[in-house]
Amino acid sequence: VRSKTLGARGPLGEAKQGRVILATYLIVTLEMTFLFMQMGVMPYLAKSLGLDSVGFGYLQTTFGVLQLVGGPIFGRLADRFGTRAALILSCASGSVFFLLLSISTSIPLLFLSRLPAVFMHGMPGAQKVITDLTTPSQRADALGKLGLCFGIGIIVGSVLGGVLSTKFGLRKPLGVWFYIPFCFDTVLGSSARFLCKDWKSNLLISSVLADTGGTSQSGSVFSIREILRLMKFPGVTEVFLIKVFAGLPLGLFLIMFSIISMDFFGLEAVESGYLMSYFGVLQMVVQGLVIGKLTHHYTEETLLRLSIFVFASVGLGMALMRTVWHWCIVAVPMVFAFSMLGTITDSILTKAVPSSDTG
């Protein structure tokens, strides 16, 4: 049903589809830019408010827990009310997040600013758009380009955050967050009409799949039963566990990387920003030049095994690194494994479940 729907759009539909995908890439780039602007200056802001490394760890853990809890809810909202509604919710939550952050003058306010993160899932929302608008053969490459946008966001955001905080103080970069709603409203407005049509076509597909037992849209927004139902599809549980357990150590490292830069490497905000931008350059190279070619020559299962093997080697390298130069060397295979694992697992999971359940 899905392939027939995609194929019936014709040249005009393909043109609209391309514009929506480009708008989605722009949304992700903007969101990642602003996110990494605050991420680079956050440890220095927390330290200026009297928060030590342990307290900052609790702050980052709070952010991670909220993201973990909100992820399934956001996915169900996207499945039930459409991708556009979910993206608008994500952008609105991001605006509130940055607004609260910009007025955080105490530690309690700093923790309070984390609350909107429960619905800040622009990247998963963008992945759903890509999944809905591409065929299975195009999906891995299209999802890989999202990583390219992620890399651009790291580069621009990290450098801007470091430079602005050095020249104007810690609070100047945070004031930029007030412009986020206008950026996102402009991008979403340009693609709103087509996204509405896409939402209607998704409902049509969902109803057909429901008739064949493929999905269920009648449950609550957050349903353990729905999650368990999706886990029963062939291969979903195995790939999901690989994604979680392989990505967890790296996720913990990246969450605390700003503290590592400040306390272990002894870097200032601007130097930490340049280091993160190096990470972004590697991300762009891998996503833009490497992953797309590899997905055309090797199977997803082979690439998944390769990324896991590289991840294991990266863990050993991270345990042995002592200087910034060591980190720069370890970052190369780490970015490759991180990008490859994310792209391949997302592609496999979206192919394994009905299109109405990709959220």
Q: Where is average pLDDT lowest: 54-58, 116-120, 240-244, 269-273?
A: 269-273
Identify the pLDDT of residue 5.
43
- Nearest of 143, 123, 132 to residue 198 by alpha carbon: 132
Mean pLDDT of the residues in the chain: 74
In the structure encoding, which two tokens stand for residue 333, read together?
């295979």
Q: What is the CATH number of domain 2-357?
A: 1.20.1250.20
Cite the DSSP H helix spans in the chain: 2-7, 10-48, 53-81, 83-102, 107-112, 122-133, 136-168, 171-175, 180-211, 224-231, 236-255, 257-259, 269-285, 292-297, 300-320, 324-352
Q: Where is average pLDDT lowest: 97-101, 208-212, 274-278?
A: 208-212
Identify the residue whose tokens are 């722009």. Answer: 26
Answer yes or no: is pLDDT of 156 > 70: yes
Answer yes or no: is pLDDT of 178 > 50: no
Q: What is the pLDDT of residues 281-326, one digit of tens each?
A: 888 888 777 887 888 888 888 888 888 888 888 888 888 888 888 8
In 10 A of CB 359, how many CB atoms?
A: 26
Each domain of the chain, given as residue ranges in start order, spans 2-357
Model's pTM, two decimal places?
A: 0.67
Q: Where is average pLDDT lowest: 6-20, 34-48, 171-185, 200-214?
A: 200-214
Res. 12 pLDDT band, cuts 50 70 90: very low
In the structure encoding, which two tokens stand for residue 143, read together?
């999802």
Q: Where is average pLDDT lowest: 220-224, 240-244, 315-319?
A: 220-224
